[in-house]
């Protein structure tokens, strides 16, 4: 089938699990329409019942909220604490190549009044899993992506917290599987299949790490989960998700600072400022699928009514697929690879149906329509 783009936003038909209607609108844009007619009050009641079910006896925490210091985790934490008057334990899995701005934002968030736990899995195990994920899956921070699920779940068990609240369902909000659109609670099988692209066991095995070294990167067994009744939810299920509103709330109440210039590969400056590997992740996404960070950001702006498709198209053509030149040496040092080895991995994952290599760089064969 020929490659095509959403008629409303710029989502590409190559996006995993995405679907389109007869108008040529992707499921993210269809969801945008549905949300305007949705009875959010019933979902608010559902959230209150979930909170009631998992609320502590007053001596502990009511839920765990993974945070990076960025806009979305900060917003969710703020809503839980100040709107619902509950006690969240916020948790951060330390990214491997953290950026100064990300460290500042996390500090500002903590200073705005939240209990917090920093989870730092073994740095060498994290490095090897990230390197293995980069080579075997085309995911440059696969170990960290795994740990923001596995390590958080393990910590919740140890802390006797049975509700974990993540931000948005990227599949529902941005295009992909719609299977959790009308279901508040999802499970570990979904995490493995969708968020980890079905490669979790493969990456763990190929890393060569021992079971003890992989503790924070393995999902708990059924035996470990027995009787724990842990539930996972996305906050975006319960209210109309708006990334820009989250940014404004986080800026006002949690000390969020944006970058002085736009981020690598996009026109925005207020998200994904915590780690250097995100720029490589976005570049690999572009080479594998044909769209990058600017396309994702533009889609968000279109769906919230802040940008036309033509305006978005100009920005995507200007910014998408930027080679993260400023971080290349950092990546080589981190992965302990030569430039030739690094480029070989990139070349292997580049989609030859979408790109040609010209003067050492992959350039698109396609023009967005």
Cβ atoms of 108 and 68 closer than 8 Å:
no
On whether residue 342 sits in a domain, the answer given is: no
On whether residue 271 sits in a domain, the answer given is: no
On whether residue 197 sits in a domain, the answer given is: yes
Phi, psi of 186 (to 5 degrees): -120, 175
On whether residue 243 sits in a domain, the answer given is: no
The predicted pLDDT at position 266 comes to: 77
The predicted pLDDT at position 263 comes to: 73
Tokens of 215: 């503790």
Cβ atoms of 62 and 86 closer than 8 Å:
yes
Residues of the chain where predicted confidence (pLDDT) is lower than 70: 1, 261, 269-273
On whether residue 200 sits in a domain, the answer given is: yes
> Which residues, listed in sequence order, are joined to residue 351 by a DSSP beta bridge?
none
On whether residue 319 sits in a domain, the answer given is: no
| Beta strands 88-93 and 63-66, pairing class | parallel
Beta strands in 200-253 (DSSP E): 231-234
CA–CA distance, 216 with 119 (Å, rounded to integer): 9
The predicted pLDDT at position 272 comes to: 64
On whether residue 14 sits in a domain, the answer given is: no
Maximum CA pair distance of the chain?
64
- How far is the CA of 117 from the CAs of 5, 110, 152, 159, 365, in angstroms? 42, 10, 10, 11, 46
Q: Is 312 helix (H, G, I), strand (E, B) or coil?
A: helix
On whether residue 62 sits in a domain, the answer given is: yes
The predicted pLDDT at position 262 comes to: 73
Torsion from C-alpha of 323, 195, 140, 175, nearest 10 degrees: 0
The predicted pLDDT at position 274 comes to: 75
The predicted pLDDT at position 81 comes to: 97
The predicted pLDDT at position 214 comes to: 98
Domain that holds residue 223: 40-237
The predicted pLDDT at position 149 comes to: 98
Whether the pTM exceeds 0.85: the reply is yes
The predicted pLDDT at position 312 comes to: 94
- Domain with 173 in it: what CATH number? 3.40.50
- Our count of domains for the chain comes to 1
Question: 171-194 burial string, b = 16+ CB within 10 Å, else e?
Answer: bbbbbbbbebeeebebebebbbeb
Residue 302, C-beta contacts closer than 8 angstroms, at least 6 positions apart = 8, 9, 10, 308, 309, 312
The predicted pLDDT at position 57 comes to: 83
| Beta strands 115-119 and 88-93, pairing class | parallel
The predicted pLDDT at position 58 comes to: 77
Residue 15, C-beta contacts closer than 8 angstroms, at least 6 positions apart = 26, 175, 176, 289, 291
- State the first-to-last Cα distance of the chain, in angstroms, to the nearest integer: 16
């Amino acid at each position: 089938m020929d490659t095509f783009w959403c008629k409303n936003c710029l989502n590409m038909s190559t996006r995993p699990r995405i679907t389109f209607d007869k108008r040529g609108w992707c499921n993210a844009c269809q969801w945008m329409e549905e949300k305007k007619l949705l009875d959010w009050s019933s979902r608010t009641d559902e959230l209150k019942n979930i909170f009631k079910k998992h609320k502590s006896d007053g001596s502990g925490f009511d839920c765990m909220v993974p945070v990076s210091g960025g806009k979305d985790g900060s917003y969710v934490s703020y809503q839980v604490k100040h709107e619902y008057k509950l006690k969240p334990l916020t948790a951060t899995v330390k990214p491997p190549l953290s950026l100064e701005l990300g460290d500042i934002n996390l500090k500002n968030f903590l200073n705005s009044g939240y209990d917090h736990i920093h989870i730092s899995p073994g740095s060498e195990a994290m490095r090897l899993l990230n390197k293995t994920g980069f080579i075997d899956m085309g995911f440059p921070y696969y170990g960290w992506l795994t740990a923001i699920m596995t390590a958080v779940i393990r910590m919740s068990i140890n802390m006797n917290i049975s509700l974990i609240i993540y931000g948005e369902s990227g599949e529902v909000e941005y295009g992909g599987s719609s299977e959790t659109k009308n279901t508040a609670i999802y499970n570990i099988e979904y995490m493995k299949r969708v968020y980890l692209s079905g490669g979790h066991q493969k990456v763990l095995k190929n890393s060569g790490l021992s079971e003890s070294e992989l503790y924070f990167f393995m999902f708990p067994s059924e035996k470990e989960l027995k009787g724990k009744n842990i539930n996972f939810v996305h906050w975006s299920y319960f209210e109309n998700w708006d990334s820009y509103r989250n940014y404004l709330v986080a800026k006002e109440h949690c000390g969020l600072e944006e970058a002085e210039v736009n981020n690598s590969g996009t026109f925005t400056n207020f998200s994904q400022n915590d780690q250097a590997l995100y720029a490589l992740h976005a570049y690999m996404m572009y080479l594998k699928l044909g769209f990058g960070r600017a396309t994702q950001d533009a889609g968000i702006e279109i769906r919230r009514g802040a940008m036309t498709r033509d305006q978005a198209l100009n920005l995507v053509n200007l910014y998408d697929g930027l080679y993260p030149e400023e971080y290349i040496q950092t990546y080589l040092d981190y992965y302990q690879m030569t430039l030739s080895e690094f480029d070989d991995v990139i070349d292997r994952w580049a989609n030859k149906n979408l790109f040609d290599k010209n003067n050492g760089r992959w350039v698109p064969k396609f023009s967005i329509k």
